[in-house]
Structure 1
Amino acid sequence: MALALVALVGGCASIRDHRGYLVDQTLLDSIQPGVDNRLSVERSLGRPTFVSQFGNEDYYYVSQIVKTPPFGRPRTSEETILRVRFDPAGNVVAVDKRGMEQVARISPEGDKTDTLGRHRSLLEDLFGNIGAVGAGGMGGTAAPSGPGPNGS
């Protein structure tokens, strides 16, 4: 009986999963602005999770700890984003560290999304365009003129 109770309680524990970069504070502290460059950062920290596409090519290292409760959805419990900023010559300017304080939690409400426009019934949706298709070109207007196939 006690063994069954231990197995039942053990099955109800959350699963803790690490995703992304493993942050090593010693290696992170070894990166020095003005001394290191892109190559030395890659040798110390490894390849970045991603590189910025606009502006200076900053390196980003993303680390997450995700907990999944039994019969529940995974939720990020901890997140660390390291950004290594470089000057145009490729030398390290600064190392920034951000966490969960930058994460925005949003929870949409309701099963419907409000839209602008008319409220139409099913029959209006099915048969509302009968007679409207082709009506704009039926007025006897002349064909477009010009060098291209569409008159441009």
Structure 2
Amino acid sequence: MKRRARAILCGFTLVLAACSPIVTVHGYVPSDADLAEITPGTDTIETVAQSVGRPSSTSLLGNREWYYVQTTIEQFTYNPPEVTDRKVVVVSFTDSGVVEEVQTYGLEDGRVVNLSPRVTPTGEERAGALARIFGSLLNFDASSFVAN
């Protein structure tokens, strides 16, 4: 009787464990208290780097914007992972390196962008290895045989 009760208790525990999500957090976003210490118009790139750290992403052109991104993902047992929270903090700088503004965005501010994994193949990708080797070896034109 005790074995049966123990087995039922173990089975029930496994079922409950399977129902709890696996939560993973990727990235880093400074706390609200740290962000409150950043003062637009007075803080610079160096002071922001010292107080909250450097971001993992910056703007493509120059060092005008810093992006701090944190994503929370939940996954239940056999279901695909689902993004449950995303926070993006953008610190904008002027050309002289002074903080212009600090903006915070959430998951509700974003929009879904469908990316296509398809890639247009080039002619070389379709050709086999031997076709590429022999094609380049036997690629002559008449002007290469005529002396100038």
Smaller-chain TM-score bracket: 0.5 to 0.7
- Secondary structure in structure 1 of the residue aligned to 2:10: helix
Shift of 1:16: 0.8
Query: Counterparts of 1:51 and 1:30 in 2: how far apart (Å)?
Result: 21
Q: Deviations over 1:15-62 (max 9, x none)?
A: 111110043110011000011000110111111121111255211100
Counterpart mapping for 1:110-149 below 5 A: none
Counterpart mapping for 1:2-17 below 5 A: 2-17=9-24
How many aligned positions are there? 126
- Report the aligned-residue RMSD: 3.3
1:81 counterpart = 2:88: yes
TM-score normalized by the length of structure 2: 0.68
Query: Counterparts of 1:70 and 1:105 in 2: how far apart (Å)?
Result: 26
Q: Which runs of 4+ in 1 moved over 6 A?
A: none
Shift of 1:103: 3.0
Query: Counterparts of 2:40 and 2:48 in 1: how far apart (Å)?
Result: 11
Letter in 2 for 1:82: V
User: Which structure: greater helix fraction?
Assistant: 2
Q: Residues 57 and 107 (structure 1 numbering): CA distance in 2 closer, same or farther, change over 3 Å?
A: closer
**What corresponds to 2:76 in structure 1?**
69
**What corresponds to 1:116 in structure 2?**
none
Gaps of 5+ in 2: 1-7, 119-142
Which of 92, 112, 115 matches 1:104? 112
- Secondary structure in structure 1 of the residue aligned to 2:96: coil
Query: Counterparts of 2:115 and 2:76 in 1: how far apart (Å)?
Result: 19
Gaps of 5+ in 1: 114-141, 148-152
Query: Counterparts of 1:81 and 1:31 in 2: how far apart (Å)?
Result: 16
**What corresponds to 2:36 in structure 1?**
29
Q: Residues 4 and 107 (structure 1 numbering): CA distance in 2 closer, same or farther, change over 3 Å?
A: farther
Contact persistence 2:29–2:89 (CA under 8 A): no
Q: Deviations over 1:41-90 (max 9, x none)?
A: 01111111211112552111001111112112222110011110000110
Identity of aligned residues (%): 24
